[in-house]
Structure 1
């Protein structure tokens, strides 16, 4: 009889695998959008534009929300539930602030005549940033679920997987926004 012990293969959790497949799809979608943007900007009717300054404030909000979620994840691991709850609330509020600041920024663009029908360059801006906002809204919904679970008195489940999945997704939309902002500033 052999005394060789087979090591247990470390497998990725199905929720994490699904998340990574989804993130890969999102990356491909935004790669397509930004590639089309680069190609279309060489057309004669392309209009360059400046982004409203409020987009910098929204960037600060989403970066800080990533930091608070990272801290919440650490607090959850250490079972510091009061700290975890307050950090989840902070992250959720900062995520909502990001969306509000984005809406204000697009309202400024609209007031300045930069509408979907004005020029194809503005249409690209609205589609690219609008799709990012839709993904942030999905993250806010996930944060709301985390919020509900964090404050549920009856649930005492310390499963880290949902926290890790939401954290990974939220950090992804944060980095995606930074990429899009740099892209829109560099490629006009």
Structure 2
């Protein structure tokens, strides 16, 4: 048996419990029955009792808010991923040596192909032998042995044959160089 605190009426527990799950009044006199405090008060703050008439609206708002949070998280994650991918691609493109030259290894031409002149290095005045590493400057198309042109390009930014301007060596931190004035990076990276 259960006695209701508001009016004092008594009912069987198996009869009154389902009634009070749906309503908050006494079945006999319709007196308002205050809800029983929950065993876990923190859960009660998040999940309202069933007898509140706005519980459906609360559940719908909670679901809508959860969906909004999930969508926002997905959009932010995709934006960050896209930005990181773009910055990596930009860094890759800016720092590639092919902006200055392309490297290739000399291979013997097949007989059935049209005979063309073998690459010739105007620095050492020798033809390129099979298996040698050559560099073709992108600005003018002239070819040189890698070991001949590398020291030249360390000191100058022109082709040794035609004096065509070669793109400069990419900076060590290409994306930072877009936003920071020249010389500032060296202040922090040079050793004393």
Normalising by structure 1, we get a TM-score of 0.26
TM norm structure 2 = 0.26
Structure with more of its chain in helix, by fraction: 1
Q: Name the structure with the higher strand share.
A: 2
Q: Say which one has the larger Rg.
A: 2
